């Protein structure tokens, strides 16, 4: 069956080799900064717990298991990391709440693939919440903070930077309270405005919804590629159009973005990847044309790095 799946996806222009995707000279690995737990109600917004718990079973504290999937796009001359996970900067209180199990995180996973953190040329941030931005810095035991990827251009939406550095209200101030610590040490920040082509095969598109400037990353090559949904579809359960996180500042915009990106994935035969599903890192839509896509094949999340 696996061999059949493999040859089918070869026909479609891409091939799964272990937890990675290869297409047209580009390899995409799905790094994982580890597992953590977040409130299930916050992740599923208006969906009643009786319904969502059939998909993601909460623990005794009402929390669900989440991953921190960060695609690594390898081209001939670039090493692009999309989002950076939680990193090692959480306070003891935050660690108690989120209980992250991350081992050596993204740098450990890069090492396992034969790369160093110095090799990373670009870090693209979907948005600046702590579970996507935190790993951009490395906090030593003595509190010294340095950029995790010292040679990388850190690419993010200018409007997201402005929200995070000058939050206009109390809700956003709370959502971005970690941002100054993470952003100040960065020397090489590239603020972009709207949809932007980054390299020959990699671009960003603003989805809005989760945060108003939230962006997704799209790779297109050789008749296939990938859309990284980041937090507009954080888990496979969120593929349903009306299942959106309470964190979203405009869920109606999230729904519109999902419809647009599902249509693009179907039309261009693109894989899709999820920021927080604790089982599936990426998948390819089946040929069914219902409003909620189903996945024909999937790539599992990488296990957290060893310490």
Q: Shortest Cβ distance from residue 168 to Zn ion (Å)? A: 21
User: Looking at 69-77, 130-138, 146-154, 176-184, which segment touches Zn ion (CB under 5 A)?
Assistant: 130-138
User: How many other CB atoms are found less than 10 A from the CB of residue 105?
Assistant: 27
CA 238, distance to chain mean position in Å, is 14
Per-position DSSP letters for 11-46, written without gaps between them: HTT-EE-SSEEEETTEEEEEEEEEEEEEEHHHHHTT
Gap between the Cα atoms of 236 and 101, Å rounded: 21
Nearer Cβ to Zn ion (23/47): 47
The DSSP bridge pattern shows strands 153-157 and 63-74 to be unpaired
Q: Is 220 in the site for Zn ion (CB under 5 A)?
A: no
Question: Considering beta carbons, is residue 23 or 216 the nearer one to Zn ion?
Answer: 216
Count interface residues toward Zn ion (CB under 5 A): 2
Q: How far is the CB of 232 from Zn ion (least distance, A)?
A: 10
CB-wise, 85 or 293, nearer to Zn ion? 85
Least Å distance, CB 276 to Zn ion, is: 6
Question: Which residues make Cβ contacts (< 8 Å) with residue 33, sequence separation at least 6?
Answer: 68, 70, 84, 85, 86, 87, 102, 105, 106, 135, 304
Query: Quick one: 68 or 73, whose CB is closer to Zn ion?
Result: 68
Tell me which stretch binds Zn ion (CB under 5 A): 101-109, 192-200, 225-233, 258-266: 225-233
Closest of 98, 202, 87, 85 to residue 137, by C-alpha = 87
- Enumerate residues 230-259 that contact Zn ion by CB under 5 A: 231
**Interface with Zn ion (CB under 5 A), residue from 33, 78, 131, 297:** 131
Query: What residues does 272 pair with on adjacent strands?
Result: 227, 283
Which spans in the chain are helix H? 2-11, 40-44, 49-52, 92-98, 105-112, 130-133, 158-165, 170-175, 179-183, 251-268
Q: For residue 107, how many other CB atoms are within 10 A of its CB?
A: 21
Piece in contact with Zn ion (CB under 5 A), picked from 50-58, 127-135, 155-163, 263-271? 127-135
Kindly state the smallest distance separating residue 26's Cβ from Zn ion, in Å.
25
Nearest distance in Å: CB 108, Zn ion: 21
273: nearest Cα among 12, 18, 64, 19 = 19
- Give the nearer residue to Zn ion in terms of CB position, either 14 or 67: 67
Given the complex with Zn ion, which of 131 and 297 has the nearer CB atom?
A: 131
Instruction: Name the minimum Å distance from CB 132 to Zn ion.
Output: 6
Q: In the complex with Zn ion, which residue's Cβ is closer, 38 or 220?
A: 38
Point out which residues bind Zn ion (CB under 5 A).
Answer: 131, 231
């Amino acid at each position: 069956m696996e061999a059949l799946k493999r040859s089918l996806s070869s026909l479609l222009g891409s091939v799964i080799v272990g937890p990675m995707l290869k297409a047209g000279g580009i390899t995409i690995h799905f790094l994982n900064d580890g597992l953590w737990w977040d409130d299930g109600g916050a992740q599923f917004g208006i969906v009643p717990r009786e319904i969502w718990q059939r998909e993601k079973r909460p623990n005794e504290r009402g929390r669900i298991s989440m991953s921190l999937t960060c695609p690594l796009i390898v081209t001939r001359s670039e090493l692009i990391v999309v989002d950076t996970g939680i990193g090692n900067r959480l306070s003891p209180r935050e660690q108690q709440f989120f209980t992250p199990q991350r081992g050596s995180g993204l740098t450990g996973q890069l090492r396992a693939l034969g790369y160093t953190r110095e090799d990373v040329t670009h870090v693209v941030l979907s948005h600046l919440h702590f579970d996507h931005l935190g790993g951009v810095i490395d906090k030593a035991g003595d509190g010294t903070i340095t950029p995790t990827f010292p040679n990388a251009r850190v690419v993010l939406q200018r409007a997201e930077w402005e929200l995070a550095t000058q939050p206009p209200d109390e809700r956003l101030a709370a959502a971005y309270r970690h941002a100054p610590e993470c952003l100040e040490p960065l020397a090489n920040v590239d603020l972009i405005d709207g949809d932007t082509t980054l390299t020959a095969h990699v671009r960003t598109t603003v989805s809005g919804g989760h945060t108003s400037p939230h962006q997704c990353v799209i790779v297109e090559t050789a008749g296939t590629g990938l859309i990284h949904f980041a937090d507009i579809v954080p888990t496979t359960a969120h593929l349903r159009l009306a299942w959106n996180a309470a964190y979203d500042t405009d869920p109606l915009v999230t729904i519109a973005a999902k419809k647009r990106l599902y249509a693009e994935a179907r039309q261009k035969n693109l894989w899709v990847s999820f920021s927080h599903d604790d089982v599936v890192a990426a998948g390819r839509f089946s040929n069914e044309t219902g409003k909620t896509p189903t996945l024909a094949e999937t790539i599992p999340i990488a296990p957290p790095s060893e310490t």
